[in-house]
Amino acid sequence: MGELLKERMKQIVTKRQGDHAEIACGKASLAGSVSQRACVFCGSRVVLYPIADALHLIHGPVGCAAYTWDIRGALSSGPQIHRLSFTTDLKEKEVVFGGETRLYNALVSLIDTYKPKGAFVYATCIVGVIGDDVEAVCRRVTKEKGIDVIPVMSEGFNGTKKDGYKIACSALSKLIGTDPVYKAPEYSINILGDFNLAGELWMLSEYYRKMGVNLVACMTGDGRIDDIRKAHTAQLNVVQCSGSMVHLAKEMKEKYGIPFMKVSYFGIEDMSDALYEVARFFKSEEMMEKARALVKEELSRLLPALQPYRAQLEGKKAAIYVGGAFKAISLVKALRLIGMKTVVVGSQTGNTDDYNLLKELCDEGTIIVDDSNPNELSEFVKLTGADLFIGGVKERPIAYKLGLGFCDHNHERKEALAGYEGMLNFAKEVHASVCSPVWKFMRGPTPTLPEGEGERGNHI
């Protein structure tokens, strides 16, 4: 690894017996690196995006809106306003004289046309610099139009993508508690940090429903403004994707006394724990029985179905590079279930606790990395001889070029990967890619000429 940046060495550790070196993380990327990370705006936008009956207006030049137009497969069972792209499309004039009037006019005209239940206004980089008072405009439109218009102060430079999550959480917390009438029934929870990619939330809420648990609000998968208003009435917050939503869970605990638990829905163990923990919380033996029955039923279907995949994947090696480290932890376990070993694992936004957990979980020799880049990743993959890469859109073609299988565990996934059904989909996806015949065809034909005749085909 001679080529690696010296400054980066602290963000990479290899698991070895007796080695207690802690990984450095939560740092801004080094200027000049080909970082796979995004910005504050991106963080806020992905968290709030699935709220389907809200208007999402991006205040800035056109790019930020164009690049985030319908890129996340966060499904809605009803309205689809979130999938359209609205921008104030700022020009030089506004950069000089300010964009508040433009923002006001855009908001009013959009609210009149689309009649949304609420609106989020995202401030992008230059809005922070030209000094538009976005909050004031939002207050004014809230008053005039009678719907909540919530500023999301997500200037791109103002920290990392993780800070964007926090800002999105504060936007949500402005809505929570604004329904004074609703009373949640017994055994009510909120799901935090599921975005209903490929319909995952629908599967999860069905599991909980079968256990007799009522879902008040999901933040933010298949989200609705009015549900979020009622979220303070739930008795428990179940938090997935700790990176993005744990701030909100903490705040709700302080403000409304709602306890929270961190769960993961990927892989059998974590998924089942997510159900048992909820039953344990409500101290209901009946609920626990239902959960056990559900898990038993699901597993009796799933385990035999996994067997053929496991048989072919046994002993294969995987490299993981995803947004949040919490997801990486579940992936390591899920891979184990189908016989695969994790040899590289990293994330864009993990914290020290996450990385310590990963280190504990992984096998000897596993490389653990924070905020990596394509050069490093391709070096690690070569070094470890991985067969599979799990990552997002920017990693896919690199993995393919290296001749590796790939599984998108980011927002471009097409199949649900959460839950029991998701575990089977995951095994299928991994199998489809790792065992694809295409890897056999990387070398073309080599003519075998009799000795001394012509040139030997050494070009491959």
Partner 1 sequence: MLLRHTTSAVKERSALTVNPAKTCQPVGAMYAALGIHGCLPHSHGSQGCCSYHRSTLTRHYKEPVMASTSSFTEGASVFGGQANLLQAVDTIFSIYDPEIIAVHSTCLSETIGDDLGQIINKARDEGKVPLGKHVIYASTPSYVGSHVTGYANMLEGIVKYFAEKTDEKKRQVNLLSGWVEPSDMRELKRIAKLMKISAVLAPDTSDVLDTPMTGKFEMYPKGGTTIPELVSMGDSMKTIGMGSWATRSAAVMLDNKCKVPFEITDIPVGLSATDRFIQALANAGRVSIPESINEERGRLVDVITDMHQYLYGKRVAVFGDPDNIIPLVEFLVDIDMKPVYVVSGTPGKAFEKRMEAILAERVPEAKYKNGPQADMFLMHQWIKENPVDLIIGNTYGKYISRDEKIPFVRMGFPILDRVGHSYFPTIGYMGGIRILEKILGALMDNIDATAKEESFELTM
Report the site for partner 1 in 361-400 (rule: CB under 8 A): 374-375, 378, 393-394, 396-398, 400
41 binds partner 1 (CB under 8 A): yes
CB of 238 to partner 1, least distance (A): 30
For partner 1, how many residues bind (rule: CB under 8 A)? 78
> Which of these segments, 23-31, 200-208, 234-242, 326-334, binds partner 1 (CB under 8 A)?
23-31
Under 8 Å between Cβ of 243 and 349: yes
CB of 401 to partner 1, least distance (A): 5
Closest to partner 1 by CB, 72 or 359:
72
36 binds partner 1 (CB under 8 A): yes
Task: Tell me the one-letter amino acid at 431.
Answer: H
Segment 397-416, which members bind partner 1 (CB under 8 A)? 397-398, 400-403
Segment 119-158, which members bind partner 1 (CB under 8 A)? 124-126, 128-130, 155-158
> Which of these segments, 34-42, 223-231, 248-256, 282-290, binds partner 1 (CB under 8 A)?
34-42
Under 8 Å between Cβ of 216 and 227: yes
CB of 67 to partner 1, least distance (A): 4
> Which of these segments, 17-25, 38-46, 144-152, 300-308, binds partner 1 (CB under 8 A)?
38-46
- Quickly list DSSP for 202-265: HHHHHHHHHTTPEEEEEEETTB-HHHHHTGGG-SEEEE-SHHHHHHHHHHHHHHH---EEE---
Segment 60-99, which members bind partner 1 (CB under 8 A)? 60-69, 71, 80-81, 83-92, 94-95
Selected from 101, 300, 312, 446, the binder of partner 1 by CB under 8 A is: 101
CA-derived radius of gyration, the chain: 24
459 binds partner 1 (CB under 8 A): no
Closest to partner 1 by CB, 82 or 262:
82
CB of 31 to partner 1, least distance (A): 4
Peptide bond into 342 cis (omega under 30): no
Under 8 Å between Cβ of 204 and 423: no
Q: Name which of 433, 427, 407 is nearest 319 in CA terms.
A: 407
Closest to partner 1 by CB, 85 or 356:
85
Selected from 14, 33, 142, 356, the binder of partner 1 by CB under 8 A is: 33
CB of 164 to partner 1, least distance (A): 9
Strand partners, 151: 121
CB of 345 to partner 1, least distance (A): 20
Closest to partner 1 by CB, 70 or 206:
70
Query: Which SS3 state, helix, strand or coil, does residue 152 take?
Result: strand
322 binds partner 1 (CB under 8 A): no
Write out the H or E segment, with its range, that includes residue 329.
Answer: helix 325-337
Sheet with 388-391, strands from edge to edge, namely: 12-14, 367-370, 341-347, 317-322, 388-391, 405-408
- Quickly list DSSP for 265-313: -SSHHHHHHHHHHHHHHTT-HHHHHHHHHHHHHHHHHHHHHHHHHHHHH
Q: How far apart are CA 40 and CA 207, in angstroms?
A: 34
Helices 268-281, 200-210: inter-axial angle, 10-degree rounding: 40
436 binds partner 1 (CB under 8 A): no
Closest to partner 1 by CB, 95 or 261:
95
CB atoms within 10 A of CB 125: 19
Which sign, positive or negative, has the C-alpha torsion 50, 53, 59, 61? Answer: positive
Which sign, positive or negative, has the C-alpha torsion 208, 213, 214, 216? Answer: negative
CB of 169 to partner 1, least distance (A): 18
2 binds partner 1 (CB under 8 A): no
Closest to partner 1 by CB, 256 or 400:
400
Pseudo-torsion of CA 176, 180, 181, 183, nearest 10°? 50
CB of 354 to partner 1, least distance (A): 20
103 binds partner 1 (CB under 8 A): yes
Closest to partner 1 by CB, 62 or 147:
62
Under 8 Å between Cβ of 251 and 239: no
CB of 162 to partner 1, least distance (A): 12
CB of 158 to partner 1, least distance (A): 6
CB of 350 to partner 1, least distance (A): 17
Q: How far apart are CA 447 and CA 460, in angstroms?
A: 10
Segment 193-212, which members bind partner 1 (CB under 8 A)? none
Closest to partner 1 by CB, 257 or 444:
444
Q: How far apart are CA 331 and CA 417, in angstroms?
A: 10
